[in-house]
Amino acid sequence: MFGCAACPSSPTFPVFAEVEHHMEEVHGVRGVLRGPATRAVLLPSTLSTYQCLLCVEGGWVEEKQVQVHLSDVHGEFFARRWEEYSTSTCRMCGEGVAKEEVEHHTALHHPRSRFARGDKEPRAEAKVEVDVKGNEDVVKMKLEEVSKLGEVTRVPGETRLKLTQGEADLVLGRDARTVVGLNRISRANISIKGSSEDNEREMVISGKENQVSLVEERVAKILARNTYIKIKLKSREMMSLC
Ligand SMILES: [Zn+2]
Ligand SMILES: [Zn+2]
Ligand SMILES: [Zn+2]
């Protein structure tokens, strides 16, 4: 549960939208995430929730709940592959965040130091420390800004993007899982041409305009995240030189 540290009655809220509403109604703060009033917001210990990809249900905080839903509503087949048939999103900004990336996402976008310190529940310390400034911008970066080669061609309904082998691997994901997931959420046609021996590969995204732009957005995020890790390493190296 989220909570408000500014109210003596310690109200709690199951979803972040209610915190925003409370902050605006009771404390006159609009867009709490963007300002310093986050220091009055108590965070729950779990910062992401699961959604079912087969229907509209969601909001679960535990894997077990996803598995139970899949098995009860959709069948054992889906429950056994629950990771493929569910997605997790950040409880604060609603962004899709893989379970193993939650700490990273939180450290980057909603560092716990900006929020109230609750003394009731012990918190898992963020494992990833991100000390790069201006990280919010990365989220909105375009493909040509985040891909190394920067070669993007667009015609209505089709986007082509040159990728390095490393980038192609990243977009494909383990066992091509990432690209399969992209295809599933967007319904766009996605192909990565060339073989793993090539230095450069070409990604072709085609389909309806909104499908293509959804894939573009997601791919940009995947590549941006990678860019970050590099920036992060660089700033660490620099610090060790000082
Ligand atoms: Zn309050
Ligand atoms: Zn479902
Ligand atoms: Zn978030």
Distance CA 121, CA 44 (A): 8
From ligand 3's centre to the CA of 40, what distance in Å?
18
Tell me: the pLDDT tens digits for 14-70?
Answer: 889 999 999 999 999 999 998 999 999 999 888 899 999 999 888 898 889 999 999
Task: Show Cβ contacts of residue 13 under 8 Å, excluding neighbours closer than 6 positions.
Answer: 1, 2, 3, 4, 19, 22
From ligand 2's centre to the CA of 15, what distance in Å?
20
User: Which residue has better confidence, 231 or 200?
Assistant: 200
Question: Among all ligands shown, which has an atom nearest to the Cα of 50?
Answer: 2
Read off the pLDDT band of 221 (50, 70, 90): confident
E-strand ranges in 39-167 read: 41-42, 48-52, 58-60, 86-90, 152-155, 158-164
Distance CA 120, CA 45 (A): 11
- Whole-number pLDDT of residue 140: 65
pLDDT at 203 > cutoff 80: yes
Tell me: the pLDDT tens digits for 173-182?
Answer: 776 778 888 8
From ligand 3's centre to the CA of 114, what distance in Å?
13
Percent of the chain with pLDDT over 90: 40
Residue at token pair 């899949």: 70
From ligand 2's centre to the CA of 130, what distance in Å?
35
Question: Among all ligands shown, which has an atom nearest to the Cα of 54?
Answer: 2
From ligand 3's centre to the CA of 105, what distance in Å?
6
> What's the predicted TM-score (pTM) here?
0.46
Q: Which of 39, 32, 33, 44 is nearest to 3 (CA)?
A: 44
Question: Among all ligands shown, which has an atom nearest to the Cα of 116?
Answer: 1
Question: Among all ligands shown, which has an atom nearest to the Cα of 32?
Answer: 1
From ligand 1's centre to the CA of 135, what distance in Å?
29
From ligand 2's centre to the CA of 66, what distance in Å?
8
User: Which residue has better confidence, 137 or 2?
Assistant: 2
Tell me: the pLDDT tens digits for 145-173?
Answer: 888 888 999 999 999 999 988 888 888 87
From ligand 1's centre to the CA of 141, what distance in Å?
35
From ligand 3's centre to the CA of 86, what distance in Å?
18
Highest mean pLDDT among 38-42, 119-123, 213-217, 218-222: 38-42
Mean pLDDT of 87-92: 91
If you average pLDDT over every residue of the chain, what do you get? Answer: 82
Task: Show Cβ contacts of residue 32 under 8 Å, excluding neighbours closer than 6 positions.
Answer: 19, 20, 23, 24, 38, 41
Question: Among all ligands shown, which has an atom nearest to the Cα of 5?
Answer: 1
Read off the pLDDT band of 228 (50, 70, 90): low
Question: Among all ligands shown, which has an atom nearest to the Cα of 110?
Answer: 3
Let me know if 170 is exposed, middle or buried by CB neighbors in 10 A (0-12, 13-18, 19+): middle
Read off the pLDDT band of 227 (50, 70, 90): low
For helices 177-186 and 165-172, the axis angle rounded to 10 degrees is: 60
Tokens of 147: 């891909």
Mean pLDDT of 217-233: 69
- Whole-number pLDDT of residue 81: 94
Q: Which CATH number fits domain 136-241: 3.30.413.10, 1.10.10.10, 3.30.1370.10, 3.30.565.10?
A: 3.30.1370.10
